[in-house]
């Protein structure tokens, strides 16, 4: 591992409920002001899209679905936890014992929190035209085969899945991927 690869894990920051997006911005500003972007990769407020009917009109609203929690992908070494905790309206990290260290989320918990975001994104554009065609080359941008290129073999519209033929170790392997997991090359 070179010095460039700083291992990061997902943590949950507890914050004052209702202020999540404001606090996310505070954290991002503070990190970039201190030049610590190498240590803090992502700050995320998990939201879900809610459709409300107001005066007979449909309104799409984003609703925070873990009020009071902000996810952060970071390497909490040195001063970082202290910097984050000292930000206005941050209560502390989740999973820490009094005065103990923040506890990272397990990968399956992260997948569940982020997966929920994906499912909603899929539902949100369920009626959008299919952006891909059979025979097109795409790049896998998510999952274990991230970074591989493949060719679209089949498109399953109702499941919004693609069958992509990827060359892995010289052998062609079919992968079933969602639209969100690939991008056009």
Residues 83, 142 within the same domain? no
Res 90: pLDDT: 95
The answer to whether residue 111 sits within a structural domain is yes
CA–CA distances in Å: residue 131 to residues 50, 60, 68: 24, 23, 36
> Based on the domain organization, do 112 and 148 belong to the same domain?
no
Q: 16 and 88 in one domain?
A: yes
The verdict on residue 132 lying in a domain is no
> At 134, phi and psi to the nearest 5?
-60, 140
In this prediction, residue 1 has a pLDDT band, given cuts at 50, 70 and 90, of very low
| 134 or 169, higher pLDDT | 134
Q: For the chain, how are helix, strand and coil distributed in percent, rounded to 5?
A: 20, 35, 40
pLDDT tens digits, 79-97: 999 999 999 999 999 875 6
What burial letters (b/e) apply to 32-53, b meaning 16+ CB within 10 Å? eeeebeebbeebbbbbbeeeee
**Residue pLDDT, tens place only, 49-72:** 777 777 888 887 778 878 899 999
Q: What confidence tier does 40 reach under pLDDT thresholds 50, 70, 90? A: very high
Which residue bears the tokens 């609703």?
63
- With respect to residue 3, please indicate whether it lies within any of the assigned structural domains: no
Out of 1-5, 82-86, 130-134, 169-173, pick the least confident: 1-5
**Shared domain check, 71 and 34:** yes
1 in a domain, yes or no? no
Point out the domain boundary residue: 84, 99, 124. 124
Same domain, 26 and 94: yes
Tokens matching residue 63? 């609703």
Is 112 in the same domain as 60?
Answer: yes
* Secondary structure class of 157 (helix, strand, coil): coil
By residue range, what is the domain housing residue 163? Answer: 137-184
4 domain residue, yes or no: no
Query: To 5 degrees, how large is the angle CA 95–CA 97–CA 102?
Result: 50
Q: Is residue 93 in a domain? A: yes
Integer Cα distance of 164 and 139 in angstroms: 10
Q: Cβ(96)–Cβ(64) under 8 Å? A: no
Report the chain's mean pLDDT, rounded to a whole number: 83
Q: Is 150 a domain residue? A: yes
- What is the mean pLDDT of the segment spanning 19-30? 95
Question: Is pLDDT at 30 greater than 70 in this prediction?
Answer: yes
Handedness of CA 168, 172, 175, 179 (dihedral sign): positive
Q: What is the pLDDT of residues 107-154, one digit of tens each?
A: 777 777 766 555 555 555 444 556 788 999 999 888 878 888 999 999
Number of structural domains the chain divides into:
2
Write the Ramachandran bin of 160: left for phi over 0, alpha for psi from -120 to 50, otherwise beta: left
Shared domain for 88 and 150, answered yes or no, is no
Quick one: 104 and 45 in the same domain? Answer: yes
């Amino acid at each position: 591992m070179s010095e460039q690869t700083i291992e990061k894990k997902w943590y949950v920051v507890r914050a004052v409920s209702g202020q999540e997006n404001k606090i996310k911005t505070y954290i991002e500003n503070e990190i970039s002001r201190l030049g610590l972007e190498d240590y803090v990769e992502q700050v995320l407020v998990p939201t879900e899209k809610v459709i409300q009917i107001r005066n007979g009109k449909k309104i799409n609203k984003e609703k925070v679905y873990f009020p009071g929690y902000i996810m952060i992908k970071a390497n909490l070494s040195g001063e970082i936890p202290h910097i984050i905790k000292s930000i206005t309206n941050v209560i502390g990290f989740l999973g820490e014992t009094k005065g103990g260290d923040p506890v990272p989320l397990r990968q399956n918990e992260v997948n569940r929190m982020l997966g929920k975001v994906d499912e909603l994104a899929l539902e949100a554009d369920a009626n959008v035209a299919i952006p891909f065609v059979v025979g097109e080359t795409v790049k896998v941008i998510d999952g274990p085969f991230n970074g591989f290129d493949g060719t679209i073999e089949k498109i399953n519209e109702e499941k919004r899945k693609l069958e992509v033929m990827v060359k892995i170790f010289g052998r062609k392997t079919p992968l079933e991927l969602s639209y969100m997991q690939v991008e056009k090359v």
